[in-house]
Chains A and B, each alone.
Chain A
Amino acid sequence: KNEVEQSPQNLTAQEGEFITINCSYSVGISALHWLQQHPGGGIVSLFMLSSGKKKHGRLIATINIQEKHSSLHITASHPRDSAVYICAVMGVSQGGSEKLVFGKGTKLTVNP
């Protein structure tokens, strides 16, 4: 079982719809990242959070530490939001240093 599980794997929406992507993890973490990967391959960090909620424009990220769950919401979705969204958690490796563990990503397609 993956330490980081994302759902859904694929998501198709119509422009304007409210989008939710979920992330569950099974390890203790110090922080959780939401990343965006466009078709060209480059990755951009959207949020880093360790508690509560963060908002940036039309994007909102929440985390519930007790339930080991995070959600990424996109309000008023637009075709330019089409990308792969990746959840990654910062945990402690066996050597004692912190490292990221990644989910497999959610591919979002927003149709006009």
Chain B
Amino acid sequence: DGGITQSPKYLFRKEGQNVTLSCEQNLNHDAMYWYRQDPGQGLRLIYYSQIVNDFQKGDIAEGYSVSREKKESFPLTVTSAQKNPTAFYLCASSGPYYEQYFGPGTRLTVT
């Protein structure tokens, strides 16, 4: 079945460590996105990529980095520079007609 996979579902890290969240899609979509969700807030865009080897900062990119070396993969690294990294992270992709597909999310806890 086509879709988006994110792993792991839950992730625990110590403060000061970088951590990479995985996102893979087999929908053949060019556009991929990373969002962050905090309680009581709408999803906020971290980074997005419209095509392989290209990506753009979203609204809250500070402390995060991404790569897009393959069409299928868009990993997000949460660096130690991110001041408040504990959150729910969602990866998404969109098709040629802007239809949206979301992954199951990764809940990151940093202590």
Residues of chain A whose beta carbon lies under 8 Å from any beta carbon of chain B? 2, 4, 30-31, 33, 35, 40-45, 48, 86, 88, 90, 95, 97-105
Contacts and interface: CB of A to CB of B under 8 A. Distances in A.
Given A4-B42, A102-B42, A102-B43, A41 B88 contact: yes
Nearest to B50: A97
B23 to A, nearest CB: 13
Given A41-B88, A42-B105, A43-B90, A86 B100 contact: no
B63 interface: no
A48 B98 contact: yes
Nearest to A2: B42
Contact of A100 (B40, B41, B45, B105): B45
A44 B100 CA distance: 8
A42 B92 CA distance: 11
User: Could you tell me the dominant secondary structure of chain A's interface residues?
Assistant: strand
Contact of B105 (A41, A48, A90, A98): A41
Nearest to A45: B100
Nearest to B100: A45
User: Could you tell me the dominant secondary structure of chain B's interface residues?
Assistant: strand
B30 to A, nearest CB: 12
A86 B88 contact: no
Contacts of B90: 41, 43
Nearest to B42: A102
A99 B45 contact: yes
Interface of B: 33, 35, 37, 40-45, 48, 50, 56, 58, 88, 90, 92, 97-105, 107
10 contacts: A31-B98, A41-B90, A43-B90, A48-B98, A48-B99, A98-B98, A99-B58, A100-B45, A100-B100, A103-B42
Contact of B102 (A44, A103, A105): A44
A98 B33 CA distance: 12
Contact of B99 (A45, A88, A95): A45
A30 B100 CA distance: 14
